[in-house]
């Protein structure tokens, strides 16, 4: 089965410039914007039914939105996702939505194809689907997105444990993910009680029957029990297109590609640690990132020589 590697859309500069931007005004719908579009908040206001908007405002909830765009195999592909979370007011990242509505758009990458239009089309489709969803379904168990609260069990340090959070990871992809993170010795470099590797992945079926497999990887602080992990401030995403067959293998390859690209970047606050302080949890210290980077460099040198 042949696969085409996606163009990596999340570079460091773009991520730093577009890190989740929260707009919050009294009486207005709050927005967590990772959509790469200045029109996202306006489109929500114009498209979501007024009763739904009023209910979200009354509950102090926010709409999260994100888009991705790729060019591969002569086509352009765009993903638009929206979900409900609880807004933050202290500069920290909001928690990841429990579930999100995702819409996928495929357009021929000819002279007429424009990334901004493709992103907007995918986002509009996701927002319209949210507007057709029952409120009870959207707000179910949203206490898990509250900024504070939750509990922490007393746990012993264990370098063999690697904490993984996120959504959509199938069994085959999860097993490969664990092996890949172990190869980076993540368990030794990070205390699982402090840091989790956030992974968001999904499989889409294209019009011709092929599969498009998306994966996003980043670091975030480990959430207390009863709470969702905070969205990573910086992440790396990728996508594969595969002929009909084993969707799990396609997803596994996308996840491994995202992991490899993310952790091969500089282990600095200008690299994979960018914005990590925005994911901190109450009463939980982040690891000494300089020490982590030093230990990573020490283990990487013998591996490179070998």
pLDDT: which is higher, 74 or 302: 74
* Stretch 255-260: mean pLDDT: 96
Which of 146, 172, 187 is the last residue before a domain boundary? Answer: 146
Query: Considering the domain boundaries, does residue 12 fall inside one?
Result: no
Query: Considering the domain boundaries, does residue 21 fall inside one?
Result: no
Give the range among 2-16, 52-66, 194-208, 223-237 with minimum mean pLDDT. 2-16
Residues 157 and 86 in one domain: no
Which of 93, 122, 146 is the last residue before a domain boundary? Answer: 146
Query: Considering the domain boundaries, does residue 1 fall inside one?
Result: no
Count the domains in the chain.
2
Give tens-digit pLDDT for 134-191: 999 998 899 999 999 999 989 999 999 999 999 889 888 999 999 999 999 999 999 9
Residues 129 and 176 in one domain: no
* Stretch 35-46: mean pLDDT: 86
Q: How many whole angstroms separate alpha carbon 122 and alpha carbon 103?
A: 6
Give tens-digit pLDDT for 86-134: 989 899 999 999 989 999 988 776 666 788 888 999 999 999 999 999 9
Query: Considering the domain boundaries, does residue 25 fall inside one?
Result: no
Q: What is the DSSP string of 130-170?
A: HHTS-HHHHSTTGGGG-SS--B-------TT---EEEE---
Query: Considering the domain boundaries, does residue 7 fall inside one?
Result: no
- Dig out the tokens for 61 from the structure: 């909830």
Give the range among 66-80, 96-110, 261-275, 287-301 with minimum mean pLDDT. 96-110
Domain range for 47: 30-146
- Per-residue pLDDT, 111: 64
- Per-residue pLDDT, 37: 73
| The Cα angle at residue 204 between residues 45 and 15, in degrees rounded to 5 | 55
Enclosing H/E stretch for 255:
helix 247-263
């Amino acid at each position: 089965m042949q696969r085409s590697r996606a163009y990596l859309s999340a570079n460091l500069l773009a991520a730093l410039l577009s890190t989740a931007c929260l707009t919050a005004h009294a009486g207005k719908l709050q927005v967590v914007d990772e959509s790469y579009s200045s029109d996202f908040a306006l489109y929500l206001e114009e498209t979501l039914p007024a009763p739904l908007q009023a209910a979200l405002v009354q509950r102090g909830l926010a709409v999260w939105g994100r888009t991705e765009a790729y060019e591969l195999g002569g086509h352009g592909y765009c993903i638009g996702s929206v979900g409900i979370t609880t807004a933050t007011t202290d500069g920290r990242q909001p928690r990841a939505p429990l579930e999100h509505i995702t819409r996928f758009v495929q357009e021929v990458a000819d002279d007429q194809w424009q990334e901004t239009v493709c992103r907007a089309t995918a986002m509009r489709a996701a927002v319209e689907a949210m507007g057709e969803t029952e409120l009870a379904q959207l707000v179910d168990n949203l206490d898990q997105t509250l900024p504070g609260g939750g509990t922490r069990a007393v746990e012993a340090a264990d370098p063999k444990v690697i904490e993984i959070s996120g959504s959509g990871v199938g069994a085959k992809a999860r097993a490969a993910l664990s092996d890949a993170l172990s190869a980076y010795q993540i368990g030794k470099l990070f205390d699982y009680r402090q840091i989790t590797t956030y992974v968001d992945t999904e499989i889409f079926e294209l019009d011709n029957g092929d599969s498009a497999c998306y994966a996003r990887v980043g670091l975030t602080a480990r959430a207390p029990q009863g709470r969702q992990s905070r969205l990573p401030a910086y992440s790396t995403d990728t996508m594969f297109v595969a002929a009909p067959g084993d969707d799990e293998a396609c997803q596994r390859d996308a996840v491994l590609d995202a992991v490899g690209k993310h952790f091969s970047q500089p282990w600095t606050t200008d690299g994979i640690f960018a914005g990590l302080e925005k994911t901190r949890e109450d009463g939980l210290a982040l690891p000494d990132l300089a020490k982590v980077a030093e230990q990573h460099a020490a283990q990487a040198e013998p591996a490179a020589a070998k």
